[in-house]
Structure 1
Amino acid sequence: MFVETTRLIIVFLATAGGFTLAQQSPGDHAILGATLGAALGYVAGGILGRLLGQAMGMAERRIEQASPARLLAGTFGAVGAGGLALLVGFPLIVLLPPMIGWPALMLLVWIGVYGGAALAGHNAEGLLAIAGLSTRPLVRASPYGATVEEGATLLDTSAVIDGRLLALARAGFLKGAVLVPHFVLDELQAIADAQDPVRRRRGRRGLDLLDAIQRTSGVEVHIIDDEVLEHEQVDAKLVALARRLQVQLLTVDSPLQRVAELQGVHCLNIDSLSEGLRKVHVPGETLRLPITRQGKEPGQGVGFLDDGTMVVVVDAAPLVGQEIDVRVTGNVQTSIGRMLFASMAAED
């Protein structure tokens, strides 16, 4: 519809232009000029309409990625700089011939609009704070509105609370920009102020861990003020913000990971990483472990390796409380992780 409407407008203008030019030339060629203008306008209108449609699609995608603060500041900058360029360039249509003056004025206004939008958009947070429009002027302004550092990671509340995140940061596996939305901090604060002592300890632990990560070299923690007003739940806000900023999401919440990945968000799950880093044990390998309890089947004993892997040992039930050598016979992947089956090595 947009292409056809654009073509219709171009055909009308080209027909009028062809008719006007034909009238100014010797002879009666007005109808021929109008016909040629309409034909040229039909072809040019189709090409221009498709190009404009593609350009508007790209602009729409950029707008979806931009933060509201950047859009507001960019709009003000474009209007202000464009109006100033119009005032400065107005003498051009008086001093220069119309065929030169008007295009020169349009070019000057376009440069002003584009430059004003770009400059104001890049300094959106500061400009809005100066104007008194920042909702949280004391929070560190973040540049993550449209141009995001490659490899930036958005943190979920569960990832902040998880103690393994600090170990990853100190080991050098968490590099680059780490983004913590302010609504995640609000949720952490609510957990830290909870009546339940367990939840309160977890919330305060999460705040302490975040502070420790912030002091870890090689990791840049940014508290971003971006808000997602169209959603109320924190998980929905995180997914929407990750899509807008085009960053990966770090979490230990498997349901959140599935929902985010269905919406095209790349997720990093600490539990999946931990499971993938467990040592691989092949059949025939000999291990030494304590038998801690009896298994579900008669005669089975159960022990655990240092990484938490469960080992079910045949005929080891009488040896509960003892440390024995076992030989791996097989393994199986379960919903809670990998489980090994073994027999006592002394019997092989």
Structure 2
Amino acid sequence: MFKKVLRGLFTLAGLVLGFITGQSLLKLDRLAYFKNSAILSVGFLIFSALILGLILYLISPWINSLITKVMNYFEDNIQKVPTVEILLGTFGAIIGLTISALFVSLIPKTLLGTIVSIIIALILAALGGDVAVKKKEEIINAFANIKKVGTPKEKKAKVSRGIPKVLDTSVIIDGRILDICQSGFIEGTLIIPHFVLDELRHIADSSDSLKRTRGRRGLDILNKIQKELSIEVKVTDKDFPEIEEVDVKLLKLTQVLKGKVLTNDYNLNKVAGVQGVPVLNINELANSVKPVVLPGEEMTIQIIKDGKEQEQGIAYLDDGTMIVVEGGKRHIGEVMDVVVTSVLQTAAGRMIFAKQKK
């Protein structure tokens, strides 16, 4: 239906343009013969209108296809951009155009002056939009602070005690840090580097749907961290342009602030250990609060699948801990009593080895 409407509009536009073109052609001296006769003039105008109308009617499918592709392109790209960035970018562009009006008013009204005015307006509009998007967090915080001024009940200032904790991208996306902080086990200021925000935004804009979902989850968690926690949260613009890798920047910033890194990245944990940077690993915390299981302890489990080694069966506790059962492959799907033989504890998690109770 949309394509049919467009084709009709293009045909109508062709008829109008043909009529206008015919009027312009009749003013030429070469067509004076048609101009002197009313019937020939009308016939010439109708002929011009029909020719251009027919041409636009015939090429309208290609024009429709081009318009559809352009619309789909902009729609796909706009969906990847957060609404806040679109609004702030528009606001910044309007401010840029307002400022450009001051310069344009001083430029002479000539052809060259008009071209220069348009260029200045476009540059300042683009610059205003770019600055507004890059300073998104500061602008939002500024408006939030304005809202808070004059309210009858002022919230108490957040008190910062303890060593600063620098958050990396993985721990923000993971989300458990929000619950841990709400429980009161984390003290000190939470530091969120601006280059971590940029990495989150790039992940949220990824063409891969899984990465895009993870990135947007991270931004949502970050928003909750800033609004819901009773401890101080700071976004720092401190950067190290000479360093390209985000993880290396993170460790450098932690050293400068004399703080600790909050992460659940196993590799970052190892690199930080080599460089002597203190690390708080969320996975290690989760493993340490799991129920203690000792060799010889009995438990009832259900074998879910077979293991990597021959005749092994795999089961899981409610907290996700894997149990490897010797000879359990023959009992997949069955509930059975087992005895713990050993427990393997690593930074990646805990693994329990067991055998069938006799």
| TM-score interval for Structure 1 and Structure 2 normalised by the shorter chain | 0.5 to 0.7
Residues of 2 paired with 1:137 and 1:199: CA distance? Answer: 22
- Match among 324, 329, 342 for residue 341 of structure 2: 329
What is the distance in 2 between the residues matched to 1:168 and 1:150? 16
Match of 1:70 in 2: none
Provide the identity percentage. 44
Matched, 1:176 2:188: yes
Match of 2:301 in 1: 289
Give the corresponding residue for 1:27.
none
CA displacement at 1:337 relative to structure 2: 3.1
* Deviation larger for 200-209 or 324-333: 324-333
Superposed CA deviations along residues 34-86 of structure 1, whole A, max 9, x for unmatched, are xxxxxxxxxxxxxxxxxxxxxxxxxxxxxxxxxxxxxxxxxxxxxxxxxxxxx
Match of 1:198 among 210, 218, 227: 210
Equivalent-residue separation in structure 2 for 1:334 and 1:273 (angstroms): 12
Q: Select which of 248, 259, 265 maps to 2:277.
A: 265
Partner of 1:158: 170
Matched, 1:234 2:249: no
Q: Does 1:310 align with 2:322?
A: yes
Give the root-mean-square deviation of aligned CA atoms: 2.4
Matched, 1:339 2:351: yes
**Shift in Å, 1:284:** 1.8
Determine if contact 1:176/1:218 at 8 Å carries over to the other structure: no
Q: Matched residue of 1:160: which SS? A: helix
- Structure-1 separation of matches of 2:249 and 2:339: 49
Shift of 1:282: 0.9
Deviations 1:104-133 (A, max 9, x none): xxxxxxxxxxxxxxxxxxxxxxxxxxxxxx
Cα deviation for residue 259 of structure 1 reads 2.2
Q: What is the Cα deviation at residue 281 of structure 1?
A: 0.9
Deviations 1:266-300 (A, max 9, x none): 11111222222222211221111110012344443
**Do the aligned residues in 1 keep the contact of 2:163 with 2:258 (CA within 8 Å)?**
no
CA apart distance, 1:307: 2.0
Equivalent-residue separation in structure 2 for 1:246 and 1:217 (angstroms)? 22
Work out the CA distance in 2 between the residues paired with 1:344 and 1:260.
41
Deviation at 1:137, TM superposition (A): 9.8
Structure 1 residue 151: deviation in Å? 1.8
The correspondence for 1:278, drawn from 258, 268, 290, is 290
SS in 1 for 2:355: strand
Partner in structure 1 of residue 97 of structure 2:
none
What secondary structure does 2:303 align onto? strand
Contact 2:164 2:257 in 1 (8 A): no
2:274 maps to amino acid: L
Q: CA deviation at 1:257?
A: 2.2
SS in 2 for 1:331: strand
- CA deviation after TM superposition for structure 1 residue 335, in Å: 7.1
The CA distance in 1 between the partners of 2:194 and 2:347, in whole Å, is 33
Q: Distance in 2 between matches of 1:241 and 1:288?
A: 48
The aligned residue for residue 167 of structure 1 is 179
- Looking at structure 2, the residues matched to 172 and 314 of structure 1 have their Cα atoms a distance apart, in angstroms, of 41
In the other structure, the counterpart of 1:100 is none
Structure 2 SS opposite 1:321: coil
Deviations 1:165-206 (A, max 9, x none): 222123222333101011111111111111111110000000
Counterpart code for 2:261: L
| 8 Å CA contact retained: 2:162, 2:187 | no
What is the CA–CA distance in structure 1 between the aligned matches of 2:202 and 2:305, rounded to whole Å?
A: 40
3-state SS in 2 of match to 1:176: coil
Q: Any conservation in 1 of the 2:283–2:349 contact (CA below 8 Å)?
A: no
What residue is the counterpart of 1:93 in the other structure?
Answer: none
Distance 1:295 1:286 in 2: 20
How far did residue 156 of structure 1 move? Answer: 0.6
The counterpart of 1:214, out of the listed 204, 226, 235, is: 226
For 1:341 and 1:260, the matched residues in 2 are separated by: 31
Q: How do 1:5-84 and structure 2 match up within 5 A?
A: none
Unaligned runs of 5+ in 2: 1-133, 143-159
Structure-2 residue corresponding to 1:186? 198
Q: Aligned letter for 1:222?
A: K
Shift of 1:245: 1.0
CA-CA distance at 1:334 after TM superposition: 5.6
- AA of the residue aligned to 2:201: Q
Long gaps (5+) in structure 1: 1-134, 142-147
Could you state the TM-score of these two structures normalised by the residue count of structure 2? Answer: 0.53
For 2:12, the equivalent position in structure 1 comes to none
Hey, what's the Cα distance between the residues in 2 that align with 1:192 and 1:313? 41
Change (3 A) 1:283 1:225: same
Deviations 1:234-268 (A, max 9, x none): 11211111111111111122222222232231111
1:136 Cα deviation after fit: 5.1
